[in-house]
Structure formats: C-alpha cells, structure tokens
C-alpha cells in the first residue's frame, strides 16, 4: 500500500524521516486511516481526509486533552482537514476487568476537570457530525437544545427520523426536568466513549482516541460507555471509588442520556437505531 506523493512528502517534512511501510487500520467515520512505519523506527497513524472532514478539529481536541487533562491520548504531529498525523499507540488487547479498572481511573480523573459552563469554547464533532457547544449555565437546557433537539432535527432533515418520532422527542424534551437535574459542576468529557475509541494492551489502557469533547454532566459519558457494552461492572465499581453515582442512573438516566448517541446513529445510518429511539421514548411515556 502506498500514500499519495504529496501526503508522503508532508509526512516526511513533519516527522523528519522517510516512509518505509504503510498499512490500513480500522477507523471511525472520519478519514482513511493508515499505520505509517518510518525508516528511523518510529510509527505514526495518519488519517487522510478533505475539506470539511473534521480532522483539524479532531487534532485540536486531542491537543486540548493532552494540555488540559490527564487523559492519555496520542500526541498530534500535524493536523488539518486533509491530514492528521499522530503517534501510534499499542492496541489489540481486550477490555477485560483489569483494563476497565485502569480506564475508570483515567475517566474519573478526566471528570474532575471542570469548566465555568456547559458546552465549550467552540463547536466540536462526533462521528464527523457537527456538535454545537454554545456555552450555557443550565445542563437541562443544554442537553435539551444542543443534544436531543439538535441531533433529532438533523436526523429529521436528512430523512432518517420520521416526523411522528420527532414529535415524541419534542414531548420528552419538554419534560426532561422530571428526570434529570443540574450537576454540581460542568465536567470535561471525552464525548465518544465506545470500545473502538479505547485502546488497551495487556490489561492496561494505552490511550483514548476520536474525542468529541465538551463540558457536561459526566453521567452522559458514563451512559454512552454502556450503550455498546464498552464498560461494565469492573469499570463502575472502580469509578465509584473516585466519584459517587447518584441513585437512579442505571434505572432511568442512563437510557435518557443514551438517546443522544442513538440519535447520532440515526442521523448517520438510520435503520434499527430508529427502533431503539422509539423504545426509549416509550419507556419514558412519550
């Protein structure tokens, strides 16, 4: 496998070494992902994109986490929408109990980083989609307007969410205060904690990738980590050693918060994710 000549030249310029070997890597929604082995023995990951790919924002978010939090992330060498170059981190291990405990230490430490308001200083991206972050003092209002209603509206706009279900989302959004309240402080969150974004090797976390950062109630992060079975009992037992969980999270708020990533998936893929949204709405009487 080879790289376009201009990309190979740029990698040589920013790393100071020539490319020896290129291999495909599994990636997310953004970019064509390659492992780059250099002649000097170093290894990097390169994501190839284009205008509007969000790779520049991805690089910004990784650098922000590296500079403002203890969360382990790959160091960014170069970033714009055409090309993101970052350190290669060992991976391939299972998220077994030991790895989940290690992850809980990292995630709890991240959630200790707080900001003055919910949202962020700029919009970010999740799965290649814009994630609006106007700063707000009310978490309930921010989650309602910038997460549920915004992403449901985007899914409706592209024809993947039926209007009848949009009406049910609106009904639930009007009642959010029945189930969620205001957290003690806005916590910094990774924003996209599913298995593919948590790298581990031999029972230890090597890093977190593909962030979608903003300041939030950390429960939305914890909820997302259960949606596709990323973390389970070992993670939550250890997380509670650092930060308590209020009653009702697993019974109600987890499903409520997971409406957001489900709506992201409806916007991207439609299909069975629409039924999952319907089931959650039904649970809350909407």
HEC string for 101-139:
HHHHHHHHHHHCCECCCEECCCCEEECCEEECCCCECCH
Residue 9 a catalytic site member: no
- Which of 81, 192, 210, 217 does the annotation list as catalytic? 192
Q: Which tokens is 35 given?
A: 């492992």
Query: φ, ψ for residue 98 (rounded to 5)?
Result: -65, -45
Please state, in angstroms and rounded to a whole number, the distance separating the CA atoms of residues 98 and 77: 31
Whether the Cβ atoms of residue 84 and residue 46 lie closer than 8 Å to each other = yes
Residue 80 CA to residue 69 CA, distance in Å, equals 22
Burial 50-76 (b: 16+ CB within 10 A, else e): eeebbbbbbbbbbebbeeebebbbbeb
Q: How far apart are CA 223 and CA 150, in angstroms?
A: 19
Terminal C-alpha separation, the chain: 51
- Count the neighbouring beta carbons within 10 Å of the beta carbon of residue 241: 12
Token duo for residue 148: 């549920």
Catalytic residue annotation: 192
């Amino acid at each position: 496998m080879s790289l376009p000549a201009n990309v190979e030249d740029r990698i040589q310029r920013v790393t100071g070494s020539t490319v020896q070997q290129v291999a495909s890597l599994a990636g997310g929604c953004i970019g064509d992902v390659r492992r780059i082995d250099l002649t000097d023995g170093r290894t990097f990951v390169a994501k190839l994109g284009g205008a509007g790919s969000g790779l520049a924002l991805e690089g910004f978010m990784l650098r922000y986490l590296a500079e403002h939090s203890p969360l382990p992330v790959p160091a960014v060498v170069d970033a714009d929408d055409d090309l993101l170059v970052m350190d290669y981190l060992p991976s391939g291990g299972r998220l077994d109990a030991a790895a989940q405990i290690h992850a809980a230490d990292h995630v709890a430490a991240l959630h200790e980083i707080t900001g003055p308001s919910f949202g962020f200083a700029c919009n970010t991206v999740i799965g290649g989609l814009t994630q609006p972050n106007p700063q707000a003092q009310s978490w309930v209002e921010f989650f309602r307007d910038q997460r549920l209603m915004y992403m449901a509206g985007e899914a409706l706009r592209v024809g993947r969410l039926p209007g009848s279900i949009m009406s049910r989302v609106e009904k639930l959004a009007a009642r959010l205060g029945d189930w969620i309240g205001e957290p003690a402080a806005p916590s910094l969150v990774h924003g996209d904690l599913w298995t593919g974004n948590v790298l581990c090797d031999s029972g230890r976390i090597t890093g977190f990738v593909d962030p979608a950062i903003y300041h939030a109630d950390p429960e939305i992060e914890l909820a997302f980590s259960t949606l596709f079975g990323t973390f389970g009992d070992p993670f939550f037992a250890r997380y509670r050693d650092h930060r308590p969980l209020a009653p009702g999270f697993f019974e109600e708020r987890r499903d409520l918060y997971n409406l957001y990533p489900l709506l992201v998936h409806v916007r991207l893929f439609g299909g069975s994710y629409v039924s999952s949204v319907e089931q959650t709405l039904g649970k809350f009487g909407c």
